[in-house]
């Protein structure tokens, strides 16, 4: 019994020492930037991801991206509470209910991050953007069903009414830049004093995957956003830092540049910004070694035999493959994921029979023109990408116009030939009449008289 008690005590000491060292390490890294006297906010998040829609085309990646974001915010950034709404939970009623709960309970010592991945819509007539909830219809009575959707201005009203010190909206949906009407800012070099000021001042900020444009289902923005959260460059960084780090990569791979900046609300300050605090600078798989414990603290300890642990041989991951085809209407050089360039003649097709499953960035260059796209390869299926689609449409239109012109020319030539044939026939008939000899008159015979 004594052996068990002492052994358990040893493990407890290890755990306490490890936790103290880890907590102190995290505190030092954050305090070196922000200082000891600064009161840090409590972090909350509302994460929304919708794959399954009742009336809109279903998505494949939005929910998974949202789940990964929620997991990272809990594990690496120490968020106090993370509320999630997935698929049917993300109805208009469900989203508004959570926004009202957060508006009611958040205090000036709280920071809130709202993440949305799903369909979006921009009404050109009214110049307003919307998030599409899971049950929202596309049309009602022949018009857009705007009453089924969450308007961006309504979201701004909720964030403006919140007492939270910071609110950051991260929107990975079509036309999400409609929330940014107050201008955007670029990344800048920031000193520690800047982060102290930014975390102390209130702010209402937005980071959007695109401006007034559509964004793809397989989101490069979400991939880079998650990658930056998982492997941050600093232990303390701002929303503008994060957006600045990813905007170049997203633009290079997708041709769309993310936008970011303060929302035009009354609650924000130009001096404030949402600050991320990394609670663990090491990858999640690594565990810090326990601090050494002095033998004098424990007294004589009976050592327990160390069990032999046999590590199973790691199983080789099965690599899955599909096919990829790239076509171009003009001569071009094709690169896959920034690798070797392949020459492609106009109208021809490049084929890869064995391409790993996943997302691949495709870049085509033809003279001074360039085109980028993203191909999603599935196992056992061949994905087809058409480079320079605008050029293909232009060439098709030129071919159509040529065909119409040729048809009109042929019709005109036929009419001209018909007119010529009729004229020749008329001339021949006239000539025949003019050259024909007159028939001799027949003598009239008088009747005989009896």
Examine the pLDDT at 84 and tell me if it is beyond 60.
yes
Pair of tokens at residue 242: 């994060």
Mean pLDDT for the chain overall: 77
What is the token pair recorded at 165? 């010190």
pLDDT of residue 429: 84
Query: Using an 8 Å Cβ cutoff, are 109 and 40 in contact?
Result: no
In angstroms, rounded to a whole number, what is the distance separating the alpha carbons of residues 286 and 289?
A: 9
Examine the pLDDT at 433 and tell me if it is beyond 50. Answer: yes
Q: How confident is the model at residue 183 (pLDDT cuts 50, 70, 90)?
A: very low
Residue with tokens 């596309």: 138
Nearest to 120 by CA among 72, 169, 50, 65: 50
Place of tokens 């001074």: 368
Task: Determine the number of helices (DSSP H) and then strands (DSSP E) in the chain.
Answer: 9, 20
What's the token pair of residue 305? Answer: 């035999």
- Residue 5: predicted pLDDT: 39
**What's the CA gap between 292 and 288, in Å, rounded?**
12
Q: Residue 2: its pLDDT value, please? A: 37
- pLDDT bin (cut points 50, 70, 90) of residue 123 is confident
Alpha-carbon distances of 410 from 378, 413, 416, 421, 424, rounded to whole Å: 49, 5, 10, 16, 21
Q: What percent of the chain has pLDDT over 70?
A: 70
Distance CA 386, CA 222 (A): 24
Q: Tens digits of per-residue pLDDT, 303-314?
A: 555 555 566 665
The DSSP line for 297-319 is HH-S-PPPPPPP--PPPPPPPPP
Is the pLDDT at 393 greater than 70? The verdict is: yes
In this model, does residue 259 exceed pLDDT 80?
Answer: no
Maximum CA extent, the chain: 180
Query: Model pTM?
Result: 0.53
What tokens does 176 get?
């999400």
Conformation bin of residue 337: beta by default, left when phi > 0, alpha when psi is -120 to 50: left
Say if residue 385's pLDDT is above 70. yes
For the cut 90, the answer to whether the pLDDT of residue 132 exceeds it is yes
Among 71-75, 267-271, 301-305, 356-360, which stretch is predicted with the lowest mean pLDDT? 301-305
pLDDT in tens, 199-253: 878 888 788 775 444 445 566 788 888 888 888 888 888 888 888 888 777 766 6
Query: Helix, strand or coil for residue 117?
Result: strand
Mean pLDDT of the 40-56 span: 93
Nearest to 166 by CA among 193, 196, 197, 200: 200
Give 88's contacts (C-beta < 8 A, 6+ positions apart). 52, 134, 135
- Residue 346 three-state SS: coil
């Amino acid at each position: 019994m004594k052996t068990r008690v002492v052994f358990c005590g040893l493990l407890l000491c290890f755990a306490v020492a490890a936790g103290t060292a880890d907590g102190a390490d995290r505190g030092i890294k954050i305090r070196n930037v922000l200082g000891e006297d600064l009161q840090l906010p409590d972090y909350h998040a509302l994460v929304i991801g919708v794959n399954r829609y009742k009336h809109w085309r279903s998505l494949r990646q939005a929910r998974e991206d949202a789940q990964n974001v929620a997991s990272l915010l809990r594990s690496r950034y120490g968020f106090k509470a993370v509320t999630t709404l997935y698929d049917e939970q993300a109805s208009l009623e469900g989203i508004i209910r959570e926004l009202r709960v957060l508006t009611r309970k958040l205090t000036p010592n709280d920071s809130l991050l709202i993440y949305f991945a799903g369909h979006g819509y921009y009404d050109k007539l009214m110049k307003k953007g919307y998030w599409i909830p899971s049950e929202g219809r596309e049309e009602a009575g022949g018009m857009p069903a705007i009453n089924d959707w969450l308007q961006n201005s309504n979201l701004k009203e909720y964030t403006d009414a919140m007492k939270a010190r910071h609110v950051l909206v991260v929107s990975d949906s079509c036309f999400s830049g409609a929330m940014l009407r107050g201008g955007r800012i670029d990344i800048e070099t920031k000193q520690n004093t800047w982060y102290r000021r930014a975390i102390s001042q209130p702010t209402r900020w937005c980071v959007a995957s695109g401006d007034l444009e559509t964004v793809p289902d397989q989101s490069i923005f979400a991939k880079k956003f998650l990658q930056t959260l998982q492997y941050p460059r600093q232990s303390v960084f701002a929303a503008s830092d994060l957006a600045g780090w990813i905007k170049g990569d997203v633009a290079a791979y997708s041709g769309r540049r993310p936008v970011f900046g303060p929302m035009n609300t009354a609650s924000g300050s130009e001096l404030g910004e949402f600050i991320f605090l990394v609670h663990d600078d090491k990858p999640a798989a690594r565990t810090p070694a326990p601090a050494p414990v002095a033998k004098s603290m424990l007294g004589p300890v009976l050592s327990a035999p160390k069990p032999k642990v046999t590590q199973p041989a790691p199983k080789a991951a099965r690599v899955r493959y599909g096919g990829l085809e790239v076509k171009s209407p003009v001569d071009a050089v094709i690169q896959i994921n920034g690798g070797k360039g392949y020459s492609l003649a106009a109208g021809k097709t490049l084929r890869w029979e064995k391409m790993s499953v996943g997302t691949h960035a495709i870049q085509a260059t033809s003279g001074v023109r360039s085109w980028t796209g993203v191909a999603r390869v599935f196992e056992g299926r061949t994905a087809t990408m058409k480079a320079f689609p605008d050029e293909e449409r232009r060439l098709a239109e030129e071919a159509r116009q040529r065909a119409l012109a040729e048809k009109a020319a042929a019709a005109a030539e036929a009419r001209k030939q018909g007119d010529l044939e009729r004229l020749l026939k008329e001339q021949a008939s006239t000539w025949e009449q003019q050259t024909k000899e007159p028939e001799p008159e027949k003598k009239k015979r008088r009747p005989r008289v009896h």
